[in-house]
Amino acid sequence: MKKRMIFLAAMFFLISQSYPQNFEKLERCNAFDKNWRFHLGDIKGAENPAFDDSNWRVLNLPHDYSIEGSFDSTYASATGYLPGGIGWYRKEFRLSPDDKNYNYYLQFDGVYERSEVWLNGRFLGRRPYGFISFYYDLTPYLNFGDKKNVIAVRVDNSDVADSRWYTGSGIFRHVWLYKKNRIHVANWGAFVTSHFVNKKRANVRAVTEVENNTNDDKLVKLQSIIIDSEGNVVGQTESEIIIPAGAKHEYDASINIKNPRLWSIEEPYLYRLVNKVYDGKLLADNDTVNFGVRTIRFDANEGFFLNDKPVTIKGVCLHNDAGPLGSAVPVREWESRLELMKEMGANAIRTSHNPPPPELLDLCDRMGFLVMDEAFDEWKIGKKKWIKGWNVGQEAGASGLNKYYSQNGYGDYFEEWAKRDLQDMVRRDRNHPSVILWSIGNEIDYPNDPYTDPTRDNYEPWRPPAFELTEIAKRLYDYIKEIDTTRPVTAALANIPLSNEIGYAQILDVVGYNYQEQYYQRDHARFPERKIIGSENGDSYSAWLAVKNNPFVSGQFLWTGIDYLGEAGKFPSRSNTSGLIDLCDFKKPGFYYRKSLWTDEPMVFVSVTPPYDTLNRFRFNTVESWNWDNYKEKELQVVAFTNCDSVRLLLNNRMISTKKLSDAEDAMIFWKVKYESGELTALAYRNGKVVAKHIIKTASEPESIILKSDRSSIEADGKDIARIEIIVVDKNGNRVPYADNIVETEVVGEGINIGFGNGDSKNLESFKSNAHSVYRGRARLFVQSNGNKGKIIVRAKSKNLKPGEIIINAN
């Protein structure tokens, strides 16, 4: 017995020497984003630690090297006429000799694309899919003490036409270094779900995978603690088991929370699960996961329920870029865009058509958005990526030889990587309460792109048969269910009649319909157990009525919330204009139309149909301008969007007329007004009282520049941003809607220009320049902290205009 006590005491001493006191740093110990070296172009031997990279550019991540290039018609319209290419990144770091007893993991949130990673010349692996997060175990190859460590990353996006939209190139998301004790919670190893939930009690299931990377069997205790947002412990449990050397174990705990606060759109309340891992009595890991207590349910007759309350999903599709910022999007820009979507009345996001950055889901959790988390835009065979413009050109037939599109893309890697990519997405994102649907694909059943349908008139027998879709969909469905059975699986279907016939639609828990509202009622009758959602929809009134008037339809996702680069028309059109705000976050009239349909707070917006728009294909594609001197004394079509009872229109304080919303066509109120300069006013009424007003005025000649920032101060962390609106105004401070002046900017002090644009889809000026023309009298400059505290002074000037200046504090 005495010998045993001496042995245990010795073991305690040895273990206590290897476990530090500060456990905080054992989690995500730092963002590994700073001071990387970058070289554009392929170069031999750059993976070698001794390679001389002293003349390479030094930068911080995230970084998108495509957005730094010039627009050129020789590139692909699909990806916004911007270049790709091969890029190399390298980073040096050192570790203390005291750190030898830890495990180190390097996580990349996204590298586009075909990344290869080396540590100290040792090849760690490759990952073709640019949108997926992945990590490597650095532990076996690390140096400690004076000898440096070198990470080298090769990125190959040399085939720019490998996507149907702009992707960006490079390490365009964050990189993290994890430092862990040898016994720890596995990366993405905790999974929290809510089961029995009511006002008095919630049963939370916490499944946690713990790794024992020591050479000995270990008695490992896991203590799981739930903490509310005020810091109170509201539930806990613990269990222990012997984990063999080099093995893993899944702890499965059930924890009750009394009087739970549920996560909802209106109150997105979050709890924390803290997993404390003990090696005997010594704390080895302290891992934290945020989660929300909520229930979700899709019903074939009544739509979607959140916490047993019916919710109409009012969603928008969002791509991964942010215009002038490319795909390296700061979290504040994502937050700003979600704020705009919330203002418009949206409550849901579809991540079209790829896994999103983790920080976007964090924001959706905090801000109360529902999420359709989507994995792929193509499966085994690539789709058409247009070169000269969307659908520009013709095919050469069965030979497949043509000069109009590429079919390269994720299909080149699907068979090898689909299971791992899909399951990694689910593991990474499964604790987000915002995520309510897993989508396995977008429009994979699109006619003849790439699968063919023999029932169609344009049947192309050389293409693969559509029935292959069903077999692949079943596999993908099963891959998800191996990881998560708590959420339904969907897909966005473009050819519902075909997908019904081949059984593809029947595999899905919830069936997504893209632009096929005409089949809602028919399929509801034919498949009474089917749960239906509009996974991609136009922003017409009829598409909205198909949701509003059919309670069995859970909701819709508009294409799209925000303009995006790529999927463009003929050069110089380098972006898709289907968004409700433009590339630079300026609201379009369609934003207000949607707001009138989706919100209750009184609002009115008045605008004018351009008289030169003879086709007028989109009746809310109007202009917020009352400058029409070329059309004096001619009648213009004036349009008002409102959610109020009626709108009275006045011109220079003279009443034109009052019209009721109930008499409106497609929820839009129209007038014919003979133009005269001055002031056009729309007054919105509820119950006989004016509750909202909107005025547009005739602007005189441009006189000066004014600058407006969304924030007066930002964090001095090298990441936070201010969004500066640059406006050309007349002598009365009115924006001049026809102004197109070139504005030169200067950022002085503790900030840098990271993007400059104006929202015009055909503007080819560099997003990284200090000079840019305004479009309709405005542009936007994105200014980022350089990491130092102090003032940031932004100045703007233009020929014949009074300059503008604004000061932002970096704290």
Do residues 111 and 127 touch, judged by C-beta distance below 8 A? yes
Short-list 690, 684, 689, 643, CA closest to 662: 643
Do residues 213 and 183 touch, judged by C-beta distance below 8 A? yes
Helices and strands in the chain: count of H runs, count of E runs: 10, 48
Place of tokens 């001389």: 52
Has 211 been annotated as catalytic? no
Do residues 771 and 742 touch, judged by C-beta distance below 8 A? yes
CA distances from 657 to 332, 593, 646, 653 (A): 43, 21, 10, 12
Q: How far apart (Å, rounded) are the C-alpha atoms in residues 654 and 761?
A: 37
**Residue 215 burial class via C-beta count within 10 angstroms: exposed 0-12, middle 13-18, buried 19 and up:** exposed
Q: Which H or E element spans position 797?
A: strand 790-798
Q: Which H or E element spans position 337?
A: helix 331-344
Q: How far apart (Å, rounded) are the C-alpha atoms in residues 751 and 789?
A: 10
The one catalytic residue in 374, 443, 517, 624 is 443
The one catalytic residue in 47, 113, 378, 536 is 536
Q: Which H or E element spans position 348?
A: strand 348-351
Cβ neighbours for 316, distance < 8 A, ≥ 6 positions apart: 341, 346, 348, 349, 350, 557, 558, 560, 561, 562, 580
Has 415 been annotated as catalytic? no
Max Cα-Cα span within the chain: 107
DSSP string, 20-61: -S--GGGSEEEE--SSEEEEES--TTTTSTT---TTSEEE-S
> SS3 for 331?
helix
Short-list 686, 619, 687, 605, CA closest to 649: 605
- How many CA atoms, within 13 angstroms, populate the side-chain half-sphere of residue 464? 17
Q: How far apart (Å, rounded) are the C-alpha atoms in residues 516 and 469?
A: 19
Q: How far apart (Å, rounded) are the C-alpha atoms in residues 225 and 260?
A: 15
Structure tokens at 745: 């900017």
Short-list 136, 135, 142, CA closest to 101: 142
Q: Return the active site residues.
A: 443, 536
